[in-house]
Chains A and B, each alone.
Chain A
Amino acid sequence: MSVDNPRAREKEFPDVDGAVSKQTWVDRAYELFDNKKIRNSSLLGLAAVVLLIPTFGGNYVMEIFTNAFFYMVLCLGLNIVVGYAGLLDLGYAAFFAVGAYTTGILTAHFGMNFWLTIPFSVLFSAMAGIIIGGPTLRLRSDYLAIVTLGFGEITRITARNLEITGGASGLIGIDRPELFGLRLYQIQHFYYVFFVLVIIAIFVAVRLHHSRLGRAWQYIREDEDAAEAMGIDRVKFKLYAYIIGAVFGGVAGSFFAVKMTAISPQTFLFTQSAMILLAVVLGGMGKIPGMIVGAFVLVIFPEVFRAIGDLRMLFFGVVLLVIMLFRPQGIWPERRS
């Protein structure tokens, strides 16, 4: 991350009108990546490395990667809400909780097969998205932010106080899933499962970004009134973004539940939502490779700097401030030319 250029933020904000933006070496490196050949070959190489990691990396490495994959899905989902549609969601962990508890309850209390719980998890997280987004998306964006924060807390408190969710201690002993007769319990199983999940998430996010929906979100983000004047129903499209983001969170939550086999309200604290948001901002809102990098940094960082322990969140807060003040477009920003 480059902080050597305090003026960098100027080029992000509109109205500076074609300001001759000073490029940092990071920008130039990413420009290389815009070349199709370089991009495709490096992506292929990356995929090969990722697929081969379980053969030479130990359990610890796989654990970290699986965790990073998991956060990538969450970041890609939150990015649709924050990066694409420009809505600040401070309670994203709630959707992740809805998915995790849906799978947890259906498998633990009703003995349902894990794979069958996913449609329910999609359904319930989408419903949660509609319940919270439907009435509030017509409000000002900052009101939405605080409502999502409140909603996140409501979800967590509800999970803590209901019997079916196991109260404060949560659900334990969630059954391991089977895939084509293979019981998934080892870390390398989940490593591949989560990797596939990330690939699907990226695919969906890319397709949405370059679609009629993706453009509508961008129009709304740039100028709501002008978008409305062009016949774009802003409430409807914001709700789409919200629901899709919720579903990403819900599905990730389902897989999280079976990987951990235990979930508790403690997993879904505000801190969790804040961390996912941090990764999105860090990576660069709106840009898919940015989400990958952001999630990876989020997971890797505490591993590398184990010594800082509890200071982790403090450090993340400082990082968040430094990024917003000096490089608001994130490590890997959206290209604008």
Chain B
Amino acid sequence: MAILEVKNLTLRFGGLTAVNDLSFGVDEGSITSLIGPNGAGKTSAFNCLTGFYKANEGDIVFDGKSLMKEKPHKITQLGMARTFQNLRLFKNMSVLENVMAGMHCRGSVGVVGSILHTPKQRAEEKKIKEYSEYCLDFVGILDKKERLARNLPYGDQRRVEWARALATKPKLILLDEPGAGLNYDEKDDLIKLIQRIREKLGITIFLIEHDMGLIMKVSEKIIVIDYGQKIAEGNAEEVQNNPRVIEAYLGKEEEDEAV
């Protein structure tokens, strides 16, 4: 069953069509990837899904609900979390505080509760802290919870982003180039982590990636887009052998490498 269904999605910036009549589904419990050459419209599509861009046409159905008119925060509340391609941490806050941001949308205490420290408020604060620590433990950096986010090494900053996204208790998590800037070992850990997120937390994973090795190892379904349009869909083998993909993507990549 598809947890996320994208139908005929189109996004235009003035004359440029960034996403063109794109349709695909992400099955519940799967690890699905969206790939394509630079500028193919991957991040634009992601931004439409998470509500940061308003798509011009089409429909996005998540968990049986259309997201076309929803704001980003509402979409996160509905159970779709994201990470950013370029890290977007709260740099001057502690690692734990960063992750607590994810729990924010699962809380409800308001002004009065915060001022009076009602029992409900205290219980909620405790829960937020505990679950945030659980998420940090899950990604393996609980020991760094008191450090300032900006003082962590890059790889650990990536982990904070993942923990923060997990703390929103999502059903589906969107990872925007999670492997960017990671070294070989870290990428290996990433693959294991992605699988653990799915196995242990039962969260569906949808990612954009450039690293073909990583994609092929981890994804069950791959959607390939170019110029905002879907050109292929299937498992790693099918996609790798698709002539259109080779032409659009792999061909280009070889050129890049030759330079």
Residues of A within 8 A of B (CB): 14-15, 17-18, 203-204, 207-208, 211-216, 218-219, 222-223, 225-234, 240, 244, 336-337
Q: Pick the contact of B84: A208, A226, A233, A336 (CB < 8 A).
A: A226
Q: How far is the CB of A235 from chain B (nearest CB, A)?
A: 9
Partner of A212, one of B52, B92, B102, B114: B114
Q: A229 and B72 in contact (CB under 8 A), knowing A207-B115, A212-B104, A213-B114?
A: yes
Extra pairs beyond A225-B88, A226-B88 (20, CB < 8 Å)? A14-B92, A14-B150, A18-B150, A18-B151, A208-B111, A211-B109, A211-B114, A212-B107, A214-B114, A223-B89, A225-B52, A227-B101, A228-B52, A229-B72, A230-B102, A231-B74, A232-B104, A234-B73, A336-B92, A336-B148
Interface contact B104-A231, CB-CB below 8 Å: yes
Closest A residue to B152 by beta carbon equals A18
For chain B residues 95-109, which have a beta carbon within 8 Å of chain A?
97, 100-102, 104-105, 107, 109
29 contacts between A and B (CB under 8 A): A14-B150, A17-B150, A211-B109, A212-B104, A212-B114, A212-B128, A213-B111, A214-B114, A215-B104, A218-B93, A219-B93, A223-B88, A223-B89, A228-B71, A228-B76, A229-B72, A229-B73, A229-B84, A230-B101, A231-B76, A231-B105, A232-B73, A232-B104, A233-B73, A233-B74, A234-B73, A240-B111, A336-B148, A337-B148
> Which chain A residues lie closer than 8 Å to B115 at the CB level?
203-204, 207-208, 211
Chain B interface extent, by class? 35 or more
Whether the pair B114, A222 counts as a contact (CB closer than 8 A) is: no
Least CB distance from A67 to B in Å reads 26
**Known contacts A14-B92, A212-B109, A225-B52: A230-B114 contact under CB 8 Å:** no
Tell me the complex Cα distance, A131–B160, Å. Answer: 38
By a CB distance below 8 angstroms, the chain A residues around B77 are 231
Residues of chain A contacted by B168 (CB below 8 angstroms): 230-231
Q: Which partner residue on chain B sits nearest A234 by CB separation?
A: B73
> Which chain B residues have a beta carbon within 8 Å of chain A's beta carbons?
50, 52, 71-74, 76-77, 81-82, 84, 88-93, 97, 100-102, 104-105, 107, 109-111, 113-117, 121, 124-125, 128, 148, 150-151, 164, 168
Complex-state Cα separation, A185 to B92, whole angstroms: 48
With both chains docked as a complex, state the minimum distance between the C-beta of B133 and any C-beta of chain A, in angstroms: 15
Closest 8 A-B residue pairs measured CB to CB? A231-B105, A211-B114, A231-B76, A226-B88, A222-B90, A228-B72, A230-B101, A233-B73
User: Which chain A positions have C-beta within 8 A of B150?
Assistant: 14, 17-18
List the A residue with the shortest CB-CB distance to B128. Answer: A212
Do residues B73 and A231 form an inter-chain contact, with CB atoms below 8 A? Answer: yes
Q: Which residues of A contact B84 (CB under 8 A)?
A: 225-226, 229
| Residue of A214, A226, A230 with highest tally of chain B CB at under 10 A | A230
Max chain A C-beta neighbours (<10 A), residue from B81, B93, B107 = B93
A136 CB to closest chain B CB (Å) equals 17
Q: Nearest chain-B residue to A16 (Cβ)?
A: B150
From A225, which residue of chain B is reached at the shortest CB distance?
Answer: B88
Tell me if A215 and B73 are in contact (CB < 8 A): no
Q: B97, A230: Cβ atoms under 8 Å?
A: no
